[in-house]
Structure 1
Amino acid sequence: MGERCGWAGSEPIYRDYHDTEWGVPEWDGRALWEKLILDGFQAGLSWITILKKRENFRAAFAGFDPEVIATWGEAEVLRCLADPGIIRHRGKIEATIGNAKAYLKIEEEQGFANYLWGYVGGEAIQNRWATMAEVPAFTPLSTQISKDLKKAGFRFCGPTIVYAFMQATGMVNDHLITCPEHEPCAALRLPPG
């Protein structure tokens, strides 16, 4: 059995995330939206910071219910800005409200999961990296998805954020080939059923 991807480090919360969640294909549109929002909050910070605050984010953002968040205004923005349990960044909070509206439009038209998974033909891309140095920060595909999300009204979704999102949600399998999670994630590359 190989070693975990080097970024997983030694903190239990990070190792658990690596072992059970990162790279596992996510087929639920609402869960995909939540992850995209959290990745947007990560911009300029480390993922472990977000991971440690994830439950606080869920509480502050109504369980990441886009139908609720899409109705928010200045009062909810101010409430979030006063919440020490989350990242208090006005631009990111306001973007979450706009992103909820953009999500609902895509969800109604074609389904958010269908929209995103359509970029990879409904099947997770399987990379075979041997070292962390080979793993890109963004790709032409993440750049295209980023542009399209922005056209749809999303913010805080640049090419690097989108690629991190694709890795985390299993749209791309970037576990190193020496990692014990590479093959289990590869086995899940197609949607269930």
Structure 2
Amino acid sequence: MIELQLDLFQYDFMRVALAAGLASAVLCGIIGIYVILNKIVFISDGIAHAAFGGIGLGYFLGFDPLLFGVGSAILTAIGIGMVSGRARISEDTAIGVFMATGMALGVMLLTLSEGYARDLYGYLFGNILAVTVNDVLLISALTLVILFLTYILYKEFLIMSFDPVYGEAIGLPVKSLRLLL
């Protein structure tokens, strides 16, 4: 039984999937703490679904959908931070609005696109067995950047997470830190 399980790692795609899973586990473990402390647990789902609008736009225009999806995810995160900070609405509400808008835009643009639409669920949910070595390098690089940022900004993130009013009182850029998070 153990030999059978270890035989799985004779395939390159299984080793790459394991490396991606391990790098993602470290990254999610670090980010997850701050996400829970700051009560923004809906954000990953919201940004992923809102990025679907960018994927649809990229597909509609005939460009790489993944690039447009990443751009859309970044703009969505910034938009959520700005809207929830200025409009006095909860972040969960802002996340829900961006998520619904992005999904609707993505579905609409994909419906209007000509030609064969690839596996669209793959963009939303992914497939760890289809991860490439370049994807693992990207995930690892992001993990290192996040590790570095959390090491440098540990005290600031801690203060922001537990007492943002105190953070503002001592001069921390709480809004900028929250947007970075």
Whether these two folds match at TM > 0.5 is no
Higher-Rg structure is: 2
Which structure shows the higher helix fraction?
2
Q: Which has the higher contact order (CA 8 A, sep 6+)?
A: 1
- Compute the TM-score of the two structures, normalised by the length of structure 1: 0.27
